[in-house]
């Protein structure tokens, strides 16, 4: 069953004599209990999309359904109640600086009318969940960035949401701390069966914990599917740019003197063979390794290489067949630009 269903969603902003279309006919279905990534460069429309999921931004056209309920059909009171089932964490943490950690976590419960004793007991359990029980009396100013985000996660869980929206939640953190936050989110997903939607511009965030990903460019949904499939064989320039980190990284590879470069992705059954050495011996031709990297994709180690193959067409095609016979995904780099 879909926890979130987005149908023909369009969002326009009016500014003086100018109309900006931030989202253009977006359709998405996010299954219950999954970790789903929405990725795009700055200005792509992804933050507008996540704010539309809980109707902080009301669509100009289209529908957002949460567990089958169309948010546009709700009264203001009903919408507030529905939003309580949707937690949200942000890049800037948004903690109340004048309140200590436990009071920050209690804040949404107190707003909901939960008695103080009950709220404190639940807040302490949530602080254990995020491994911060010893910090309950500290104030945000005395916490590290990672600790602040853990408090924000505990606060977001305080109202027992079924959906957790994470808008660039790790962008302000160093890589090691970001990794610990992502692992925490995955643990929460598995323990509480929450649906988690992660908005990011970083592909490594998506490959780390997401099961499926939607790629947004200029307000449009340009590619969607399982993270592993998109990492192995991206179909659009936007996806290829996000995977490589920068479009320019591929530009000089086209001009490599030893022929057309290709990108290969190693799967588990092909990662133990000395593939490049064997290929050179078999075909009697040099192969230039232009780039090599390893990533964690949904809990699996995936290796990728950009290789400069010989210019001879027949030999190049024979090498590509040889790679594919060994379970590698092969894509020509010239298609990336």
> Domains in the chain, start-ordered, CATH in brackets?
2-236 (3.40.50.300), 246-336 (3.30.70.260)
C-beta atoms surrounding 233 within 10 Å: 15
Average pLDDT over residues 188-209: 89
Mapped onto helix, strand or coil, the DSSP state of residue 32 is coil
Calpha distance 8→128 (Å, rounded): 41
Beta-ladder partners of 303? 266, 294
Q: How far apart are CA 227 and CA 206, in angstroms?
A: 7
How is residue 38 written in tokens?
């929405």
Average pLDDT, the chain: 85
Decide if pLDDT at 105 tops 90.
yes
pTM confidence score: 0.82
pLDDT above 70: percentage of residues in the chain: 91
Residue 251 has pLDDT above 90, yes or no: no
**How far is Cα 194 from Cα 166, in angstroms, rounded to an integer?**
12
Helix axes 145-157, 116-129, angle to 10 degrees: 130
pLDDT (tens digit, 9 = 90+) per residue, 66-81? 998 999 998 988 988 8
Distance CA 215, CA 171 (A): 18
Could you tell me the pLDDT band of residue 252, with boundaries at 50, 70 and 90? very low
Predicted local confidence at residue 260, as pLDDT: 66
Residue with tokens 């993270």: 227
What pLDDT does residue 257 have? 47
Helix, strand, or coil (residue 208): helix
Q: What is the dihedral of CA 274, 299, 247, 238, to 10 degrees?
A: 130
Strands laid side by side in the 35-39 sheet: 86-90, 163-167, 195-200, 35-39, 212-217, 220-226
Pure H helices in 23-100: 46-53, 76-83
DSSP line for 220-281? EEEEEEEHHHHHHS--SHHHHHHHHS-GGGGTGGGG-TTS-EEEEEE-GGGSSS-HHHHHHH
């Amino acid at each position: 069953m879909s926890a979130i269903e987005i149908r023909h969603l369009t969002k326009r902003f009016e500014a003086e004599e100018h109309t900006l279309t931030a989202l253009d006919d977006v359709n998405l279905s996010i299954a219950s209990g999954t970790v789903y990534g929405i990725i795009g460069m700055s200005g792509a429309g992804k933050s507008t999309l996540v704010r539309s999921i809980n109707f902080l931004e009301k669509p100009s056209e289209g529908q957002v359904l949460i567990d089958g309920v169309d948010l546009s059909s709700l009264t203001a009171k009903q919408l507030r109640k529905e939003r309580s089932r949707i937690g949200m964490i942000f890049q800037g943490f948004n903690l109340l600086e004048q309140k200590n950690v436990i009071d920050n976590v209690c804040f949404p419960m107190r707003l909901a009318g939960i008695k103080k004793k009950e709220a404190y007991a639940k807040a302490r359990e949530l602080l254990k969940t995020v491994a911060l029980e010893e910090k309950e009396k500290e104030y945000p100013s005395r916490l590290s960035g990672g600790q602040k985000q853990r408090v924000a996660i505990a606060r977001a869980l305080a109202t027992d949401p079924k959906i957790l929206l994470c808008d660039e939640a790790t962008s302000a953190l160093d890589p090691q701390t970001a990794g610990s936050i992502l692992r925490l989110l995955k643990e929460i997903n598995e323990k509480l069966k929450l649906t988690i939607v992660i908005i990011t511009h970083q592909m490594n965030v998506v490959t780390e914990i997401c099961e499926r990903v939607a790629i947004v460019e200029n307000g449009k949904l340009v590619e969607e599917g399982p993270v592993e499939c998109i990492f192995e064989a991206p179909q659009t320039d936007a996806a290829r740019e996000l995977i490589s980190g920068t479009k320019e990284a591929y530009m000089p590879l086209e001009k490599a003197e030893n022929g057309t470069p290709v990108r290969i992705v190693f799967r588990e059954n092909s990662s133990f063979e000395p593939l490049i050495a064997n290929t050179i011996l078999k075909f009697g031709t040099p192969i230039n390794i232009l780039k090599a990297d390893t990533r964690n994709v949904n809990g699996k180690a995936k290796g990728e290489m950009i290789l400069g193959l010989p210019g001879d067409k027949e030999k190049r095609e024979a090498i590509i067949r040889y790679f594919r016979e060994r379970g590698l995904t092969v894509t020509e780099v010239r298609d990336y630009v």
